[in-house]
Amino acid sequence: MGMQIAPSILSADFANLESEIVKVDTADWLHVDVMDGHFVPNLTLGLPVVERIAEVSPMPIDAHLMIDDPDHWAPRYAEAGAASVTFHYEAAKDPRAIARDLRRLGARASVALKPGTPVDAILGDLAEFDMVLVMTVEPGFGGQAFMPDMMDKVRALRAASDAADQGLWIQTDGGIARDTIETVARAGGDVFVAGSAVYGAHDPAAEVVALRDLATAAARG
């Protein structure tokens, strides 16, 4: 698997969402942030909107659930058409059961870690997940500064995955741009969520390609 870019529509123009989605059709995934105003202080969109986005997006949907009670809600986003569903470890009652439900429904199962959550919390259960999302900002709002100290988590996950020959995808979200993506790729990340870096560019589709190329070159050393 090569480097993958997942533009976040959190930085898109919500009044023109379908046209904003088409602007990034060079991407591998479309990252959709779902926030409930409880687990994080921001409020974005919910299940009916994600279902409609999945119907019109040329890219598969990568749904990032920053919400309470993912044990109940995460499978419903898979049923709504999300090809990958990420829930937060901190909000889950039974992360392994959620992951198994998602896989049963045909979605990739992913777990996210907030900056303050140690990676050791999930190392024993990595086989349950297709991807781990390492938050490189505090979840809830776009445009925050990248936290380079989170690379220790990325390196630990890559080492554990390689040792088990698991093929785990490692995603990072927060402050990903041209000046940070190479650092993440060298640490072992391979799926990159970029919001303002893509949608703030003059040509979002070209920016996706540029970010992928930078990550690919960095990973090759």
CA angle, residues 46, 47, 49, in degrees to nearest 5: 75
Six-digit token string for 167: 């093929």
Beta bridge partners of 30: 61
Task: Find out whether 106 and 85 touch, Cβ atoms under 8 Å.
Answer: no
CA angle, residues 66, 87, 70, in degrees to nearest 5: 85
Six-digit token string for 94: 């039974």
The CA distance from 80 to 97, in Å, is: 19
Measured in degrees and rounded to the nearest 5, phi and psi for residue 30 equal -110, 115
Which 3 state secondary structure label does DSSP give 101?
Answer: helix
What residues act catalytically? 33, 173
The CA distance from 64 to 70, in Å, is: 11
Beta bridge partners of 31: 8, 62
